[in-house]
Amino acid sequence: PDTYVEIHQDRTARVAPTSDDAKWFPALTANPVSCVVHRVVMRGRTLFLDGKFYAPPPSAAGAAASGGRDVGHAVRAMSSGPPTSGKHFAQFQPPVPASPQLKKAAPSVVVRKISTTSLARPAIEVDTIDEADAVSAASPLEAALTTTTPLAGTFAAKDDVSAAAAPLARVERPLATSRLAEIVARYGNENPFYMKHVLSVRQFSREDLHLLFAVAQEMRTAVQRYGMVPVLPGRVMASVFYEPSSRTSSSFQAAMLRLGGQVFAASSETSSVAKGETLEDTVRTFGSYADIVSLRHPQPGSVQGAARFSNVPVVNAGDGTGEHPTQAMLDVFTIREELGTVNGLTITLVGDLRNGRTVHSLARVLAQYKNVTLHYVAPPALAMPDSIKRDVALRAPYVVQSEHTELTDEILAATDVLYVTRVQKERFASDADYEAAKDAYVIDNSLMRKCKRNMIVMHPLPRVSEIAPEVDTDQRAVYFRQMQYGMFVRMALLALVLCRNF
């Protein structure tokens, strides 16, 4: 039950020349491959999504209850397929009973310690012991699994070391960036983000977003293991924010630092803007010092205008009530990571939809997915702008849009993603209007009891009173995980914008 494979017939992909499939079938690298496996679900668990395995560890009840173990990387390491030039791949040999003569033969290799002090060259240090003293309860396959990771598809030895010679002093894994190169190769070695301004979600197709999300998944894995992915050493980002920001500015800065780059920050109070300098001159100035500029400005369309005068890529970090493209990207990435797919979901946007730039960008991105239903729940004065609804209808006539002023039980019962936004006090002309609208919708435990068990609650943050703190402990509340997903997406975006290849 709940086991199926989702295949996209309209998608194509390329087999990377460095992949294991290319070693067995070199002809696959010549042309794109149609009908791409998008998702594999077993017993309700997503085990594979867009080229990434998500195999849970075996439970106490056994591997069958947990979906099994991902031993693909071990099988690749022990493959007897065609060898790569200059490398010898490990061969799986069944155990042979030891004789007295063999006990005195060449010593065996036993793992002693894993060293991860450097991301560029993580390695396993090995020592040798005499065969007569080697006693291990683990099987050969379990030993191979403990010394192999998804980032290291194979173990390679140097040409001058033979199987009968002394044991290897060091067995090294490939660079972590090789996995990123494989991802780009899978998309035809075309990087649609390279040296481009990131101003609106309308610039990028669904395939472009899939590339971004695949790189973000690798960034997540590498950061969790090593803390950073130094693909941008020596690069500098200018963080220019004309509005207050905690998450977006910090997320961009943390992303750049974890990529090995540097950051300097400026604001309207600390720059020459206080002296009357124009935004265009400011962007020109910072573009002379940095390789990329992340820019937030209170006027809609201002970032697009300033980007015309910049000689380095500009990333829109929010332009008033206009757009917030990187927030929409991380929102969709969050949905994919938490629910496995975006297709076929019912997504309810609640709160200040007129002034919320995050929901403007998000609605446009969701229009690229199939069979999506969008509920807009807001007071009449804060309803979703007609321009956004018209844009979604033109881009995706099959997306169902509906407007509501009440968050009814029927809407809650059908919702897969409840996306809540705060009522933005800074956008109101009077405090009285703000006070009348700020508590129109409050998400608390009594309301959450009316929702699905497998739905999620999202929020771009900061929140004021629209989500009660008691909801934070609900496993369906993902808004704090959403922040961390945002750093991985921005790491991927910065890397793709500044690196043609990895």
Check 46, 177, 248, 358 and give the catalytic one.
248
* Cα→Cα distances 393→202, 229, 366, 388, 398, Å: 14, 40, 11, 9, 8
Check 179, 186, 324, 357 and give the catalytic one.
324
DSSP assigned state of 307: H
Residue 226 gets the label, from left (phi > 0), alpha (psi -120 to 50) or beta, of alpha
DSSP assigned state of 196: -
Q: Pairing between strand 236-241 and 170-172?
A: unpaired
Q: Pairing between strand 292-297 and 236-241?
A: parallel
Check 202, 247, 395, 476 and give the catalytic one.
247
Residue with tokens 């800074």: 426
Neighbours of 16 (CB within 10 A): 21
Check 38, 173, 197, 296 and give the catalytic one.
296
Distance CA(170)–CA(113), nearest Å, equals: 11
Structure tokens at 392: 């979604």
Nearest to 211 by CA among 448, 449, 51: 51
336 as an active site residue: the answer is no
CB-count exposure of residue 406 (10 Å: 0-12, 13-18, 19+): exposed
Helix and strand numbers, DSSP H then E, in the chain = 17, 16
324 as an active site residue: the answer is yes
How crowded is the C-beta side of 360, counted as CA atoms within 13 Å?
22
DSSP assigned state of 62: B
296 as an active site residue: the answer is yes
248 as an active site residue: the answer is yes
Check 113, 270, 275, 449 and give the catalytic one.
275
Contacts of 131 (CB under 8 A, 6+ apart): 98, 102, 103, 104, 105, 107, 108
Name residue 263's beta-bridge partners: 237
Structure tokens at 445: 């435990």
For the CA atoms of 337, 340, 343, 349, the dihedral, rounded to the nearest 10 degrees, stands at -50
Instruction: Kindly list the strands in the beta sheet with 417-420, ordered across the sheet, starting from the edge strand earlier in the chain.
Output: 400-404, 373-377, 346-350, 417-420, 456-458
275 as an active site residue: the answer is yes
Distance CA(172)–CA(95), nearest Å, equals: 25
| Residues noted as catalytic | 247-248, 275, 296, 324
